[in-house]
């Protein structure tokens, strides 16, 4: 077996810090288990896994529905909020904007999913609208978007922004 290839013949999975790359099928399966049958990407998709200190997959993010220079991001976590470190966020968004060369990311969040809405807002996504009765149960979906130019996790901007208010 080629050392650079994984079991399915694709690139071998690897990790950088707590981020897992090239394990698209495993991360997609994790997301589907946590979201149920709601999520099935149509066409190309790329995933990033987030690992805990014991290398267990605790969060997954899937980039899919690539249109122009943008993509949708769908995620799930078995430990909401406990994986969101600055390094992980910087790595996640560097993967999206630099490796995948996206210009924008869009997230659709069920109107009553307050935890996901709060995560999107804290991550820097902006509310862009509402899809009335857009969910499979006919509830509304909130549309969140982030442009690469607005991503505070890239190029050390997070550190800079967190100290801006302290300068005199």
% of residues, the chain, pLDDT over 70: 86
Q: Does residue 39 lie in a domain region?
A: yes
CATH of residue 27: 3.40.630.30
Q: Is residue 1 part of a domain?
A: no
Q: How many domains, in total, are found in the chain? A: 1
In a domain, 2, yes or no: no
The pLDDT assigned to 6 comes to 47
Given a cut of 70, is residue 140 above it in pLDDT? yes
The residue segments making up the domain with residue 99 are 14-163
**What average pLDDT does the structure give for the chain?**
88
Mean pLDDT across the stretch 105-118?
95
In a domain, 4, yes or no: no
The tokens for 168 are 């005199």
The DSSP result for 34-56, as a single string, is HHGGG----S-EEEEEEE-TTS-
Give the confidence band of 148 by pLDDT, cuts at 50, 70, 90.
Answer: very high
Q: What is the pLDDT of residues 117-137, one digit of tens each?
A: 999 999 999 999 999 999 989
In a domain, 115, yes or no: yes
Contact call for residues 92 and 124 (beta carbons, < 8 A): no
Per-residue pLDDT for 167 more than 60?
A: no
| pLDDT score recorded for residue 166 | 39
pLDDT tops 90 at residue 39? no
Within-domain flag for 9: no
């Amino acid at each position: 077996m080629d050392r650079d290839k994984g079991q399915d013949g694709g690139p071998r999975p690897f990790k950088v810090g707590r981020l897992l790359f090239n394990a698209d099928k495993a991360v997609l399966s994790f997301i589907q288990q946590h979201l149920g049958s709601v999520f099935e990407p149509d066409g190309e998709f790329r995933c990033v896994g987030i690992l805990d200190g014991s290398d267990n997959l605790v969060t997954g993010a899937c980039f899919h529905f690539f249109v122009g220079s943008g993509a949708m991001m769908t995620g799930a976590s078995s430990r909401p909020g406990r994986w969101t470190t600055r390094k992980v966020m910087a790595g996640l968004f560097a993967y999206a904007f630099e490796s995948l060369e996206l210009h924008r990311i869009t997230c659709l969040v069920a109107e009553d999913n307050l935890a996901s809405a709060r995560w999107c807002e804290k991550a820097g996504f902006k509310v862009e609208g509402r899809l009335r009765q857009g969910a499979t149960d006919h509830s509304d979906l909130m549309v969140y978007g982030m442009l690469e130019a607005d991503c505070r996790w890239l190029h050390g901007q997070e550190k800079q922004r967190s100290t801006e208010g302290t300068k005199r």
